[in-house]
Chains A and B, each alone.
Chain A
Amino acid sequence: MKTGIIAVVLLYQILVIVIIGIIVKNKEKKEGSHGEASFALAGRNMGPVVLPITMAFTVLGTAHILGVFEMTFNMGAIAIWFSLAHTVLLIVACVGTGRWVRRMGITTVPEALVGMYGKGVSIAVACVMAGNIWGILTLETQGIGIVISTMTGWDIAKGALVGGVLGVFYVVIAGMKEVGLINVVNAVIKYVALILAVLFVALKLPGQNFDTIQTYYQAEPSQHFMLSVFGNADLFITFAIGNIIAVTFCQGINQMLMQVCMAARDEKTIKNALWIAAPVNGMFGVFAVTLGLTAKALPAYSAVGAKMAVTTMLVDMLPTWLSAGLLAAFVAAILSAFSMTCLTPATIFAVDIYKDLFNKNASEKQVSNVIRIGIVILVALAIAIAAFLPPILGAINWLFAWLVPVFWIFVLGLFWKRSTKVAGLTLAVSWILNVLWSFSPLPKAIGGLIGTLPNAYITLLSALVILIVGNLAVKGEPGYFKTMDARKLA
């Protein structure tokens, strides 16, 4: 699959982006709705179709595609719990954190923390959160480079550059409204291409179904667990539950998903969005896992190794037009997460740093333009970093762990107690531990089971211990939603 196919895929993406961008801009002109709330938050009017699709695809990116292929190859069907962990995340966001940030009427998560803990904590979180999401952006950029590279033969840096430019256009013309509408159009392509890909792979197998693959795993007793979504006890505790903890507590307060919730029409729309967002996100994993199990069972592709087995199999087995469709689907899936990972840190910078610290009287148009410039700079830096290929899974593990203490100071501060000193101490200790856990011999020195725990467990443990003990020890203020101001908000 070479130049002709990639040209068709790129042309499709460009057409969708430009046409939707122009439609949204014209509509905004007619309605006279410009500015920060319109660009970054879609005028806080995302409805019952666009909202759940955007929520689902904001947290579905590189790791859901390349990561799940690789995890399935190594661990079997239990890899579906990477997707199911995101279902738990969407539940927490739709019935909890997402509704709370919408109720507060804020534009960024750090803005909520100003009211709860003061400016110091808020700015610290703004800096860490923006850096954190930008870190995820570099991985998404790398992911899109790998997908384009493996399916076209281009080198990864070139793929990352093309993907990065597309990603900027995805969001920069009309902001969140554009992202939402493109997501809805692309959702159809994603699922149709995936369903057809699985169907065509099945038709190429003996018996024209997956029975031979099933027989392959059933023939060897030690491989039976590969077919079960619950794997075995060890895998369930370390992988399934580990993923639920890491994904839920890190992404459950991350600006990426919260900005989508802040853009919702109202709280009820967010709560109801769960019925669509959860299956749309979670079921994606079924197709990825099926393809992973199939590639592992076929000697020709098993020999290629975990990283490349599935993509090599797809390029070999699918007709060219379907390979192109699948490439379009993968690129669209990664771009949906990519667009939010560049929009959200740029929004944090524009609102919490530029407007709050340097230009308090900035107009909405000025803030929107700063967001646009921020998006271009962040993506340019991400493309430059992506060429060095940082390891995706290890990096995600470290990045996610930074936001675990932020989740807990937010939730406990809303409903239980608030103390700026305790919150500051929690963040400082947890973040230092996270750095030490990755870049010092501390885990090795501790050894045993604790020494092997991923970073998210460490920051979860330290955050909960310091917050609970600290809040019991100091007087503090009552939970934010218990105060009179917040009652008015409710």
Chain B
Amino acid sequence: MFITLFIHTFVIIMVMVAVGQAIASIAERKHKQEVK
């Protein structure tokens, strides 16, 4: 039970972080183009 909960939570966190970083990179690139 503990191991399953640990793995599920860790995977969810890392996926959210990766998606967040990816969205931020795209938005940043777009914003820089707009400002130029």
Contact between chains at A229 and B5 (CB < 8 Å): yes
| Interface window among A170-178, A273-281, A340-348, A382-390 | A273-281
Contact between chains at A87 and B2 (CB < 8 Å): no
Is the C-beta of A289 less than 8 angstroms from some C-beta in chain B? yes
Q: Which A residues touch B17, using CB under 8 A?
A: 87, 91, 274-275, 278-279
Report if A202-B13 is in contact (Cβ < 8 Å); known contacts: A271-B24, A487-B35. no
Report if A290-B12 is in contact (Cβ < 8 Å); known contacts: A95-B20, A490-B35. no
The main secondary structure of chain B at its interface with chain A is helix
Contact between chains at B21 and A77 (CB < 8 Å): no
Q: Which A residues touch B12, using CB under 8 A?
A: 84, 87, 229
Report if A227-B21 is in contact (Cβ < 8 Å); known contacts: A279-B10, A282-B9. no
Contact between chains at A88 and B14 (CB < 8 Å): no
Q: Which of A95, A275, A482 has the most CB of B within 10 A?
A: A95
Q: Which A residues touch B5, using CB under 8 A?
A: 77, 80, 229, 286, 289-290
Contact between chains at A84 and B35 (CB < 8 Å): no
Report if A95-B16 is in contact (Cβ < 8 Å); known contacts: A289-B5, A293-B1. no
Is the C-beta of A235 less than 8 angstroms from some C-beta in chain B? no
Contact between chains at B9 and A229 (CB < 8 Å): yes
> Which residues of B1-36 are within 8 A (CB) of A?
1-2, 5-6, 8-10, 12-14, 16-17, 20-21, 23-24, 31, 34-35
Is the C-beta of A354 less than 8 angstroms from some C-beta in chain B? no
Report if A213-B9 is in contact (Cβ < 8 Å); known contacts: A95-B24, A278-B17. no
Q: Which A residues touch B9, using CB under 8 A?
A: 80, 83-84, 229, 282-283, 285-286
C-alpha spacing A487/B32, complex, angstroms = 10
Contact between chains at B16 and A84 (CB < 8 Å): yes
Q: Which B residues touch A487, using CB under 8 A?
A: 35
Report if A229-B8 is in contact (Cβ < 8 Å); known contacts: A95-B21, A213-B1, A271-B24. yes
Contact between chains at A290 and B2 (CB < 8 Å): yes
Q: Which B residues touch A210, using CB under 8 A?
A: 1-2
Is the C-beta of A369 less than 8 angstroms from some C-beta in chain B? no
Q: Which A residues touch B10, using CB under 8 A?
A: 279, 283
Is the C-beta of A149 less than 8 angstroms from some C-beta in chain B? no
C-alpha spacing A327/B16, complex, angstroms = 31
Q: Which B residues touch A275, using CB under 8 A?
A: 17
Q: Which B residues touch A482, using CB under 8 A?
A: 34-35
- Residue positions of B touching A, CB distance < 8 A: 1-2, 5-6, 8-10, 12-14, 16-17, 20-21, 23-24, 31, 34-35
- Residue positions of A touching B, CB distance < 8 A: 77, 80, 83-84, 87-88, 91-92, 94-96, 198, 202, 210-211, 213-214, 227, 229, 271, 274-275, 278-279, 282-283, 285-286, 289-290, 293, 415, 481-482, 487, 490
Closest 6 CB pairs of A and B: A95-B24, A91-B20, A210-B1, A214-B1, A282-B13, A278-B17
Listed A/B pairs (21) with beta-carbon separation below 8 Å:
A87-B13, A87-B16, A91-B20, A94-B20, A95-B20, A95-B24, A198-B2, A210-B1, A210-B2, A229-B5, A229-B8, A278-B17, A279-B10, A279-B17, A283-B13, A285-B9, A286-B5, A290-B5, A481-B35, A482-B35, A490-B35
